[in-house]
């Protein structure tokens, strides 16, 4: 089956190690709605979908309120009829026309219906299920997200594996570190980072200097200030999560995820990085000396 991915702001990770199920709920709600904003839909199919949601009682609260404000002549007036003919959903022509005209008359009803329709299509594409609350919650989070923060991209199958199955705390910490690493690498094939940067992303912050003091002093984060614990975590990522790292004789480390980047590439990139660092240090020393001696061009 083709892998499907969603994106979400790194800040949603802040409670992942303490409240994994609740945090994954938030990540999935945001990610599905965010994904849905790019889903294409067929406008001619919308009236039939609207009727289906009504008979299946799947309307979110905003659409339920709008629907209640309309004096429907045909829609839902027959208690013995639910739009189905056998196993096929086949609403009558009068209902379809009534809903179609209602959507044409009310721009807000139309736009809200399209949003929910795209969310339902996103669920189908992602092979997920969710309640109308997930739609409402996801929309609210997307609306209020902080612009510019890192947006890791994660396989929905991986998230659902952790959501549906009980995982111990160390497994959840591996997930947090894996997502954190992927958010650092971003769209690049590999990059240079360091342990503080990884710790910051694990706990939902872009940079380590952004991590509040109370979080730095928490048991969860301080655990990974111990070299043994951090090395153990990185070893599990290397062994079980397709993470590659290289750090010999360098500050920080080169990292990659997956099979597309070889160790040869990481080693080569690390040595180029070291040469560049030495060159920059040399040029800085020259500039400092020139300023000290007031040398002009």
CATH number of the domain that residue 190 is part of: 1.10.10
pLDDT tens digits along 216-261: 999 999 999 999 999 999 999 999 999 999 998 888 999 999 999 9
Query: Residues 181, 234: one domain?
Result: yes
- Domain containing 111 equals 5-143
Query: Residues 193, 136: one domain?
Result: no
For residues 112 and 186, give the distance between their C-alpha atoms in angstroms, rounded to a whole number: 32
Model confidence at 1: pLDDT above 60: no
Q: Is 289 inside any structural domain?
A: no
Please report the pLDDT score of residue 287 as a whole number.
Answer: 80
Please report the pLDDT score of residue 201 as a whole number.
Answer: 97
Residue 3: strand, helix, or coil: coil
Query: Residues 74, 120: one domain?
Result: yes
Q: Is 294 inside any structural domain?
A: no
Q: Is 96 inside any structural domain?
A: yes
Q: Which of 126, 143, 160 is the last residue of a domain?
A: 143
Contact 74, 94 (CB under 8 A): yes
Residue with tokens 């090395």: 231
Query: Residues 60, 129: one domain?
Result: yes
**Backbone φ/ψ region at 294: left (φ over 0), alpha (ψ -120 to 50), beta:** left
Query: Residues 118, 194: one domain?
Result: no
Residue 56: count of CB within 10 angstroms of its CB = 11
Q: Is 152 inside any structural domain?
A: no
Q: Is 115 inside any structural domain?
A: yes
Q: Is 210 inside any structural domain?
A: yes
Q: Is 160 inside any structural domain?
A: no
Query: Residues 120, 205: one domain?
Result: no
Query: Residues 176, 115: one domain?
Result: no
Query: Residues 114, 205: one domain?
Result: no
How many domains is the chain partitioned into structurally? 2
The answer to pTM > 0.85 is yes
Q: Please report which confidence band the pLDDT of residue 78 belongs to, taking 50, 70 and 90 as the band edges.
A: low
Lowest-confidence segment of 4-13, 52-61, 152-161 by average pLDDT: 52-61
pLDDT tens digits along 99-134: 999 999 999 999 999 999 999 999 999 999 999 999
Model confidence at 79: pLDDT above 90: no
Query: Residues 125, 60: one domain?
Result: yes
Q: Which of 143, 159, 186 is the last residue of a domain?
A: 143
Query: Residues 175, 139: one domain?
Result: no
Q: Is 52 inside any structural domain?
A: yes
9 Cβ neighbours under 8 A, 6+ residues apart: 30, 145, 146, 149, 150, 151
User: Could you give the angle at which helices 169-185 and 227-240 cross, rounded to 10 degrees?
Assistant: 80
Residue 217: count of CB within 10 angstroms of its CB = 9
Contact 100, 47 (CB under 8 A): yes
Query: Residues 137, 17: one domain?
Result: yes
Q: Please report which confidence band the pLDDT of residue 213 belongs to, taking 50, 70 and 90 as the band edges.
A: very high
Query: Residues 17, 134: one domain?
Result: yes
For residues 296 and 71, give the distance between their C-alpha atoms in angstroms, rounded to a whole number: 82
Distances (CA, A) of 136 to 117, 141, 142, 289: 13, 9, 10, 60
**Tokens representing residue 21 in the block:** 């199920």
For residues 231 and 199, give the distance between their C-alpha atoms in angstroms, rounded to a whole number: 12
Model confidence at 77: pLDDT above 80: no
Q: Please report which confidence band the pLDDT of residue 36 belongs to, taking 50, 70 and 90 as the band edges.
A: very high
């Amino acid at each position: 089956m083709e892998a499907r991915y969603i994106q979400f702001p790194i800040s949603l990770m802040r409670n992942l190690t303490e409240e994994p199920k609740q945090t994954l709920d938030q990540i999935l709600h945001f990610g599905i709605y965010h994904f849905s904003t790019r889903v294409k839909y067929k406008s001619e199919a919308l009236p039939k979908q609207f009727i289906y949601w009504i008979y299946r009682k799947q309307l979110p609260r905003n659409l339920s309120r709008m629907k209640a404000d309309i004096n429907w002549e045909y829609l839902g007036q027959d208690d013995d009829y639910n739009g189905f003919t056998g196993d096929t959903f086949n609403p009558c022509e009068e209902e379809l026309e009534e809903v179609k005209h209602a959507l044409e008359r009310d721009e807000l009803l139309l736009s809200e219906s399209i949003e929910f329709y795209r969310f339902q299509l996103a669920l189908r594409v992602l092979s997920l299920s969710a309640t109308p609350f997930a739609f409402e919650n996801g929309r609210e989070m997307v609306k209020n997200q902080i612009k510019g923060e890192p947006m890791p991209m994660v396989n929905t199958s991986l998230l659902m594996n952790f959501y549906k199955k009980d995982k111990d705390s160390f497994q959840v910490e591996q997930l947090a570190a894996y997502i954190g690493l992927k958010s650092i690498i971003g769209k690049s094939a590999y990059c240079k980072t360091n342990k503080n940067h990884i710790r910051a992303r694990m706990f939902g912050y872009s940079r380590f200097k952004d991590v509040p003091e109370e979080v730095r002093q928490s048991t969860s984060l301080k655990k990974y200030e111990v070299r043994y614990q951090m090395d153990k975590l990185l070893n599990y990522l290397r062994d079980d999560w397709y993470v590659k790292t290289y750090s010999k004789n360098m500050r920080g480390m080169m990292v990659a995820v997956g099979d597309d980047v070889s160790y040869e590439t990481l080693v080569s990139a690390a040595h180029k990085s070291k040469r560049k660092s030495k060159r920059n240090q040399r040029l800085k020393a020259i500039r400092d000396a020139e300023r000290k001696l007031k040398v002009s061009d």
